[in-house]
Chain A
Amino acid sequence: DAGVIQSPRHEVTEMGQEVTLRCKPISGHNSLFWYRQTMMRGLELLIYFNNNVPIDDSGMPEDRFSAKMPNASFSTLKIQPSEPRDSAVYFCASSNGQGSYNEQFFGPGTRLTVL
């Protein structure tokens, strides 16, 4: 299995631009998670989906952030407009099963820099 795939791996953009991060979960997994990692705040859960339906988006920082999962094999996290404080590493993870004890498999992350 290829694991969780994220693209791009690195993104540098200017303040005010739209940024779209992409994630392909492991085939057969029914839960997908978006995390943000910064030095100051550590790893924060932004949103998670179960069977393509958003379950909890309380971690999404503000309306500039949106996430979609149009099908079981693809999800996007969009920031519009981007700001320098959005600079972070964004991870996508997926898991199989209904329980909160299931292992989450992480992608390699997208390092976002907003100038």
Chain B
Amino acid sequence: AQSVTQLGSHVSVSEGALVLLRCNYSSSVPPYLFWYVQYPNQGLQLLLKYTTGATLVKGINGFEAEFKKSETSFHLTKPSAHMSDAAEYFCAVSDSNSGYALNFGKGTSLLVTP
């Protein structure tokens, strides 16, 4: 069965600084990987996803993530944080064996300070 580990339940960065949110996965077959964002009192919104092909994936709001099979990682980055990026971020994995189900990590809360 696949699983996801997000390192760091809380991350704090200054406005304008690099954002790095870590995600490691385990899967016995090639994975499909996702990053979702959740703003307060809202549902989850897809930031980006990796299925096949190019390992560097660009998403909305300037975020990107790189699939590294050798490191079983899918870390999320953004060069310059904005105050509006403060939210909860979830990494998720699925694969051809899991049917349609997404397996989510515990989430990382991003705080952006002025």
On whether the beta carbons of A55 and B100 are closer than 8 Å, the reply is yes
For B103, list chain A residues within 8 Å (CB): 45
Contact of B49 among A55, A56, A103 (CB under 8 A): A103
Interface residues of A in 30-86 (CB under 8 A from B): 31, 33, 42-43, 45, 48, 50, 55-56
For B36, list chain A residues within 8 Å (CB): 106
Question: Which residue from chain B places its CB closest to the CB of A47 in the assembled complex?
Answer: B101
Check: A25 CB closer than 8 A to any chain B CB: no
Contact of B44 among A48, A55, A91, A100 (CB under 8 A): A91
Contact of B104 among A43, A95, A100 (CB under 8 A): A43
Check: A4 CB closer than 8 A to any chain B CB: yes
Contact of B32 among A48, A55, A100 (CB under 8 A): A100
User: B: which residues have CB within 8 A of A?
Assistant: 32, 34, 36, 41-46, 49, 51, 90, 94-96, 98-107
User: A: which residues have CB within 8 A of B?
Assistant: 4, 31, 33, 42-43, 45, 48, 50, 55-56, 91, 93, 95, 99-109
What are 21 residue pairs bridging A and B, where the CB atoms are less than 8 Å apart in the complex?
A: A42-B104, A45-B101, A48-B99, A55-B100, A56-B99, A93-B44, A100-B94, A100-B96, A100-B100, A101-B32, A101-B94, A102-B100, A104-B46, A104-B102, A105-B46, A106-B36, A106-B43, A106-B44, A108-B42, A108-B43, A109-B43
